[in-house]
Amino acid sequence: MGRGKVELKRIEDKVSRQVSFTKRRNGLMKKAHELSVLCDVDIALFAFSPGRDRLYEFSTNNRSPPFEDMMGLKKNSTPFQDDKEGDPNDYTPPAKKQVHHATGYILQEDNKITTSRKMESLL
């Protein structure tokens, strides 16, 4: 997509890679959101950028117990419970029914449901 094809290999130019990451990450989150709504399924998506030590997350408000359990299991082993600096409202925003748990989420506008957080504390 875009002006040229793209080989499936790591983008070497740092700037381009970062730009591409931002664009594609948003696109992926949007698609995940659409899939969950259209097909009525639970979804959890995590993207971790080693270079920037930042975690991006998206997930439905898990409706099904099995899924919740599974995600719960994974999450429980999280070594970083939080670097959350008092974000009292990190739960289910208003207009958007779709959304995410996880600390420090950032709900931008319509199709930019994203959760991100610094992970320095983990290193």
Partner DNA sequence: TGGCCTATGTATAAACA
Partner DNA sequence: TTGTTTATACATAGGCC
Which one of DNA, a copy of itself, none is in contact with 53 (Cβ closer than 5 to 8 A by kind)? a copy of itself
Nearest to 45 by CA among 113, 120, 118: 113
When asked if residue 18 is in the footprint of DNA (CB under 7 A), the reply is yes
Binding site for a copy of itself (CB under 8 A): 6, 8-11, 17-18, 20-21, 24-25, 27-28, 31-32, 34-35, 37-51, 53, 55, 63-67, 69-80, 82, 92, 119, 122-123
Among 9, 10, 12, 26, binds DNA (CB under 7 A): 26
Question: Which amino acid, 84?
Answer: K
Residues 28-67 that bind DNA (CB under 7 A): 28, 30-31
When asked if residue 118 is in the footprint of DNA (CB under 7 A), the reply is no
Strand, coil or helix: what is 107? strand
- Mark the segment that binds DNA (CB under 7 A) among 20-28, 63-71, 84-92, 99-107: 20-28
How far apart CA 91 and CA 115 sit, in angstroms, is: 11
Which H or E element spans position 114?
strand 113-118
Nearest to 108 by CA among 93, 123, 120, 119: 93
**Cβ distance to DNA smaller for residue 5 or 10:** 5
Shortest distance (Å) from residue 42 CB to DNA: 17
How far apart CA 1 and CA 21 sit, in angstroms, is: 14
**Cβ distance to DNA smaller for residue 17 or 92:** 17
Strand, coil or helix: what is 32? helix
